[in-house]
Chains A and B, each alone.
Chain A
Amino acid sequence: MRDRFSRRAFLAGLGASAVSAVAVRELIRLGLRPRSASEEEPFLEEPAIFVEHDGWLVTMPDKRLLEFPVRYLEGWHAEERTSDAAWRWSGQAASVLAPNLGVEATVHIDYDSQAGLFRDRPRTVTVSVGDEVLETFVADAPGRQRRALPLPAGIPGHGEVFELTLATDRAFVPAEHLSDSQDRRELGLQVFEVEIREAGIRR
């Protein structure tokens, strides 16, 4: 694995900050002409808009998304897939661990609520972070849906990651609704994808 970019290490290697005896020795070892001690490093005074990830100069949201994609936590059934789609069924309540991007962001939930089974009394879905409810919506639209929920820049009380919970007001057992089904699992939402994206990034 190559030594990826670290600005601090790079500058230390060049003796760009205070020209210490150690830095001078490093310069001699590298065979570089030293910098003048009186010279400033103008770039250090500029606000850094990026951070480093495996040598890449990226934004903080990039870094968090690259290092920490959304992870499924409790309350999920095993992944299922066909040739062109993959999904997980939640139980009545299920949670994901997502990166706190530190900027305004949007949670995208790609789901199918099987609304046709609940025409008489559609189910209600609640999305929350900890005790804070982000949104409650009635899952009455048929077919695959994509729902976008805004997240504030900093999610209060959370660090680099936060736990997002999806809960339906009631679960269903397919075998009780479908005559040809033997499936006795308690199911909530059929979730194809949960994504966190910076606000303003188009898809």
Chain B
Amino acid sequence: MAVFIASGGSFPDPSSYDCFVIGSGPAGITTAVTLAEANRKVLLFESGNDDRERRTMPNARNTGHFRDGWWDRHSIRGLGGTSQVWSGWCASLMERDFNNPAAGVRWPIARSELVPYYRRAAPILDRSPSILDPEKPWIPGFLYRPYSRLRPTRFGARYLDLLRDSPTIHVALSTSVLSLDADMGRSAVSGLTCLRHEGDARLQLAIQPGQSVVLAAGGIGNPMLLLQPRPDGGVPVGSESGLVGRFLMEHPHLRRTVELVLDEDLYKRRASEEFGRARHAFVADDEHAAAHGLLGCSVVSYSKSTDDPMVEYLSWKYGKPFFHYGTEVRGEMLPAPSNRVFLTRERNRAGLYRPSVNCLVGADDLLSIERTLRHLARSLIETGKGRVRIDSERLRRGVSGGGHLMGTTRMGATPSDSVVDRDCRVHGYRNLFVAGSSVFPSGGYANPTLTIVALALRLADTIASGR
């Protein structure tokens, strides 16, 4: 099935739609479905198919960290997009992530504006809104803030029937959007060109000012499209800020690097059934992080044992049982303009210039993790609740990532510091929007899926309200 609604081969009349959504990952499908619920008619583009990924369009080349196909593995051309490789972990951003001086960037919205959308986002990811309320005070300066982990929602499979049956959503599978055109004044998108892979047909669709275009093609796909050169050599539509593709962020992951010994059997902490299997995690609280200029960092326990000399020692010292935990540390990367998606001279089969990704974890990113760990160690020592062990070698050299692509069309107050405004609308264009983690100005430590869906809901409300 190439196009859900036009299996006969004819392409739908573009004038009949209120919105064109490019990309069918969690952001794209959430935006489309929410607009449909508001009686808006949506055409959803997907390069891949409903049952397989399109592999004839290689994605990014890589330099820096995260090489050897890392970004390709997390840029899926197929219905459901990157939800196909999502692990199912959920956590919301913290209050400070929206305005953390240590990150040197501020979101133009506060967390409180996003909380209602977080609550609406949870059921879309097949979980209860109660997953927003798990955090509890722990030791001075630190919170217990677990991740919810349930079976991951594969958007392609989960919402296939809904998309197929929807009278107001039409899905153009196997169709890649190649470029955007703007009106003379560059105030609105006036057209788009797409390629239908079956038949190799290029189509030009006219976009009226009252119609909206939403880029939801991911942290590489969105800048890749916005950066494609124009035939006339002019600045690509939406790239006027010069910031498209820059400020790429991942979440540095450190595995088998940090060990904890705690006076608590974490496995006895029970979250609600709705919360799912909790991944126990600890983070600096907002006040402590602000006082010490810490970036986001969570220490996640993943294995417990009592067979450790430090367990024996602390149990002797304090006269109570202690437990040893292996951990995974998830940190935050500072947004750096040199970390970016840019285009190479190489073109893919569709004629799109192939992107390259340069991403280097910074010394400051690792130092902030190390400082957070030392603060955690201090608090554990002062409360007699445990100790922290750090493997220096792995901390410096063992960094990996989470497959989280953020920041490449960042949100901000002005065109001088961002690509989209607080409504996720590309600065200067009244009908061009971006959905997905590419709009995150900073990434915190939390994996982005929940926030992606929440922002997509908010964006859909904005478009539906005609603001």
List chain A positions with a Cβ less than 8 A from chain B.
Answer: 2-6, 9-11, 13-16, 27, 30-35, 39, 41-43, 49-50, 54-59, 62, 65-66, 197, 201-203
- Rank and list the top 4 A-B pairs by shortest CB-CB distance, nearest first: A33-B362, A57-B377, A5-B390, A3-B393
Rounded to whole angstroms, the CA-CA distance of A42 and B101 in the bound complex is: 15
Determine the distance from Cα of A6 to Cα of B395 in the docked complex, in whole angstroms: 11
Contact of B366 among A14, A55, A56, A197 (CB under 8 A): A14
B: contact size bracket? 35 or more
Beyond the given pairs A10-B395, A30-B396, A62-B313, 12 more chain A to chain B contacts, judged by CB atoms under 8 angstroms and listed by A's residue number, are: A4-B389, A5-B390, A31-B65, A31-B361, A33-B360, A33-B364, A35-B363, A50-B378, A55-B259, A57-B388, A59-B381, A202-B318
- Nearest A-chain residue to B256, judged by Cβ: A2
Report whether B381 and A5 are in contact in the complex, using a CB–CB cutoff of 8 Å: no
* Chain A neighbourhood of B370, CB < 8 A: 10
Name B's interface SS: helix
- CB-CB nearest in chain B for A33: B362
Chain B 358-376, CB-CB to A under 8 Å as 1, else 0, gives 0011111011001101100
Q: Is B268 an interface residue (CB 8 A)?
A: no
User: Which A residues touch B389, using CB under 8 A?
Assistant: 4-5, 54-57
- Partner of B374 from A27, A32, A57 at Cβ < 8 Å: A57
Q: How far is the CA of A57 from the CA of B392 in the complex (A)?
A: 12
Total residue contacts A-B, CB cutoff 8 A: 107
Q: Is B292 an interface residue (CB 8 A)?
A: yes
Offer 11 A-B interface pairs, CB within 8 angstroms, sorted by A. A2-B393, A2-B394, A10-B396, A32-B362, A33-B338, A50-B377, A57-B377, A57-B378, A58-B381, A62-B313, A66-B309
Query: Looking at A14, A33, A54, which has the most chain B CB atoms within 10 Å of its CB?
Result: A33
Residues in B with CB closer than 8 Å to A54 are 389
Q: Chain A contact residues: over half helix, strand or loop, or mixed?
A: loop
A33 touches B392 (CB 8 A): no
Candidates B292, B319, B360, B373; contact of A31 at CB < 8 Å: B360
Q: Tell me, in angstroms, the Cα distance from A54 to B308 when the chains sit together.
A: 13
Please report the C-alpha to C-alpha distance between residue A15 and residue B397 in the assembled complex, in whole angstroms: 14
B293 on the interface (CB 8 Å rule)? yes
Once A27-B363, A65-B313 are accepted as A-B contacts, the answer to whether A6 and B392 lie under 8 Å apart by CB is: yes
Which residues of chain A are near B65, meaning CB under 8 Å?
31
Q: Given A2-B391, A55-B391, A201-B317 in contact, is the A15-B363 Cβ separation under 8 Å?
A: yes
Question: Distance in Å from the Cβ of B48 to the closest Cβ of chain A?
Answer: 33
Given known pairs A4-B391, A6-B392, A57-B390, the reply for A33 and B397 (CB within 8 Å) is no
Beta-carbon contact of B367 and A30 below 8 Å = no
Min CB gap B36→A, angstroms: 43
The interface residues of chain B lying within 8 Å CB-to-CB of A13 are 392, 396
B297 CB to nearest A CB, Å:
14
Contacts of A197 in B (CB 8 A): 317
Q: B364: which A residues are within 8 A, CB to CB?
A: 33, 35, 39
| List of A residues within 8 angstroms of B404 by Cβ | none
Chain A CB within 10 Å, residue with most, of B361, B363, B384, B389: B363
Report how far A5 CA is from B293 CA in the complex, Å: 22
Q: Which of A16, A30, A201 contacts B397 (CB 8 A)?
A: A30
Inter-chain contact A33/B363, CB cutoff 8 Å:
yes
Asked whether, in the complex, the Cβ of A33 is within 8 Å of the Cβ of B387, the reply is: no
Query: Which residue on B lies nearest to A15, using beta carbons?
Result: B363
Q: Which residues of B sit under 8 angstroms from A31, Cβ to Cβ?
A: 64-65, 360-361
B103 to chain A, nearest CB (A): 14
A16 with B367: CB separation less than 8 A: yes
Give complex CA distance A13, B393 in Å.
Answer: 10
- CB-CB < 8 A to B310: which residues of A? 56
How far apart sit A30 and B392, CA to CA, in the bound complex (Å)?
13
**In-complex Cβ contact of B392 among A10, A27, A41 (8 A):** A10
- Provide the bound-state CA to CA distance between A54 and B387, in Å: 12
**Complex CA distance for A39 and B362, rounded to whole angstroms:** 14
Assess whether A34 is in contact with B363, with CB atoms less than 8 Å apart: yes
Residues 255-284 of B contacting A (Cβ, < 8 Å): 259
A66 and B336: CB pair below 8 A?
no
Per-position 1/0 for B338-368, Cβ under 8 A of A: 1000000000000000000000111110110
Q: How far is the CA of A16 from the CA of B377 in the complex (A)?
A: 21
In this complex, what residue of B is CB-closest to A56? B389
A residues within 8 A CB of B336? 33
Which chain A residues border B397 with CB–CB below 8 Å? 30
Asked whether, in the complex, the Cβ of A32 is within 8 Å of the Cβ of B363, the reply is: yes
Chain B residues, CB < 8 A from A5: 389-392, 395
Given A32-B361, A33-B338, A33-B363, also A49-B387 (CB < 8 A): no
Name the residue on A nearest B261 (C-beta): A56
